[in-house]
Amino acid sequence: MAYDYDLFVIGAGSGGLAASKIAASYGAKVAIAESDLVGGTCVIRGCVPKKLMVYASHFPSLFESATGYGWQVGKAQLDWEKFITSIDKEVRRLSQLHISLLDKAGVELIPSHATLVDEHTVKVGDRKVTADKILIAVGGEAVKPDLPGMEHAITSREIFHIQSQPKHIAIIGAGYIGTEFACIMRGLGCEVTQIIRKEQILRGFDADIRTQIQEGMVNHGIRIIQNTVVTSVEKVENGLTINLSGEDSEPITADAFLVATGRTPNVEGLGLENAGVDLVTTSLEAPGYKSTNAIAVNEYSQTSQPNIFAVGDVTDRINLTPVAIGEGRSFANSEFGGNRRVFSHENVATAVFSQPEAATVGLTEESAKKQLGEDGVIIYRTRFRPMFYTLPNQEEKTMMKLIVDANTNKVLGAHMVGDYAAEIIQGVAIAVKMGATKKDFDATVGIHPSSAEEFVSMR
The pTM score is: 0.95
Task: List, in order of start, the domains of the chain with CATH numbers.
Answer: 5-47+81-141+264-336 (3.50.50.60), 150-261 (3.50.50.60), 356-456 (3.30.390.30)
- Within 10 A of 313 (CB to CB), how many other CB atoms are there? 30
What span, in angstroms and rounded, lies between the C-alpha atoms of 451 and 419?
9
Q: What local confidence, expressed as pLDDT, does residue 283 receive?
A: 62
Q: What local confidence, expressed as pLDDT, does residue 439 receive?
A: 98
Residue 294's pLDDT band, with cuts at 50, 70 and 90, is very high
- Within 10 A of 184 (CB to CB), how many other CB atoms are there? 25
Instruction: Note if the bond before 356 is cis, omega within 30 degrees.
Output: yes
In eight-state DSSP terms, residue 206 is -
Q: What local confidence, expressed as pLDDT, does residue 156 receive?
A: 95
Tell me how far apart the 2 most distant CA atoms of the chain are, in Å. 75
Residue 286's pLDDT band, with cuts at 50, 70 and 90, is low
Q: What local confidence, expressed as pLDDT, does residue 282 receive?
A: 72
Does residue 248 register a pLDDT over 90? no
On the CB side of 8, CA atoms within 13 Å amount to 25
Does residue 287 register a pLDDT over 80? no
What span, in angstroms and rounded, lies between the C-alpha atoms of 276 and 75?
62
Q: What local confidence, expressed as pLDDT, does residue 262 receive?
A: 85
Rounded to 5 degrees, what angle do the CA atoms 157, 49, 67 make?
125
Q: What local confidence, expressed as pLDDT, does residue 424 receive?
A: 98
Residue 284's pLDDT band, with cuts at 50, 70 and 90, is low
Q: What local confidence, expressed as pLDDT, does residue 253 receive?
A: 97
Pick the catalytic residue from 161, 168, 345, 448: 448
pLDDT tens string 36-75: 999 999 999 999 999 999 999 999 999 999 999 999 999 8
What span, in angstroms and rounded, lies between the C-alpha atoms of 82 and 64?
23
183 contacts 355 by C-beta, under 8 angstroms = yes
Buried residues in 353-386 as b, exposed as e (16+ CB within 10 A)? bbbbbbbbbbbbbebbbeebeeeebeebebeeeb
Q: What local confidence, expressed as pLDDT, does residue 318 receive?
A: 94
pLDDT tens string 79-127: 999 999 999 999 999 999 999 999 999 999 999 999 999 999 999 999 9
Percent of the chain with pLDDT over 70: 98
Q: What local confidence, expressed as pLDDT, does residue 290 receive?
A: 63
Does residue 174 register a pLDDT over 80? yes
User: 253 forms bridges with which residues in the sheet?
Assistant: 241
What span, in angstroms and rounded, lies between the C-alpha atoms of 97 and 330?
23
| 448 given a catalytic annotation | yes
What span, in angstroms and rounded, lies between the C-alpha atoms of 407 and 413?
15
Mean pLDDT of 140-166: 96
